[in-house]
Amino acid sequence: MPTRFRKIRKMRGSRTVGWGQVNQHRKHGAKGGHGHAGLHKHKWSWVVTYAPDYFGSHGFAPIRKRKQSWVNVGQLEEIVARMEEVKKLGTQDGLPVIDLVSMGVNKLLGAGNISRALLVKVSYCTGSAKDKVEKAGGKVQEV
């Protein structure tokens, strides 16, 4: 369309340029809402053009299960029995040594009972677990 036929050329000099009262077609009311108002309605063509990935989900975050990294005092005797079968049980100061750190265990908890004296090497140990091991005649070495 040639410039000379456009509405703005015809309306040049009029106060409102065809928009009625002076305050119509001014300020923010003409934009169709504030912020993201109308993105699923009257501003959909804007979304398609400028923000096509705004809606919908994008990929996923897998749920990773953590490996249990603690052992109860009651399980120590089972571990010793398994290590004796495989003949991988070392001794230190006359006590069988269980190195929980090398097994990937971070913590020794106090559930259960122990009747055998052991030397347990672990990163962290609760107070009740330490008491139970020492009551049985063993030692806890926090590495």
Question: Are residues 120 and 75 part of one domain?
Answer: yes
Examine residue 60 and state whether it is found in any structural domain, yes or no. no
Query: What pLDDT, on a 0 to 100 scale, did the predictor assign at position 23?
Result: 78
Query: What pLDDT, on a 0 to 100 scale, did the predictor assign at position 10?
Result: 87
Query: What pLDDT, on a 0 to 100 scale, did the predictor assign at position 76?
Result: 93
Q: pLDDT, tens digit, for every residue of 78-112?
A: 999 998 888 888 888 888 999 999 998 999 999 99
Domain CATH number, residue 35: 4.10.990
Domain that holds residue 7: 3-50
Q: Which residue has the higher pLDDT, 41 or 20?
A: 41
Q: Which of 27, 6, 26 is nearest to 16 (CA)?
A: 26
Environment class of 78 (CB within 10 Å of its CB; exposed 0-12, middle 13-18, buried 19+): exposed
Give the separation between CA 37 and CA 28, rounded to whole angstroms.
Answer: 13
Residue 39 has pLDDT above 80, yes or no: yes
Average pLDDT over residues 15-44: 83
Of 22-36, 52-66, 67-81, 100-114, the one with minimum mean pLDDT is 22-36
Average pLDDT over residues 48-71: 89
Tell me the whole-structure pTM to 2 decimals: 0.54
Report the number of distinct structural domains present in the chain: 2
Give the separation between CA 132 and CA 109, rounded to whole angstroms.
Answer: 10
Examine residue 57 and state whether it is found in any structural domain, yes or no. no
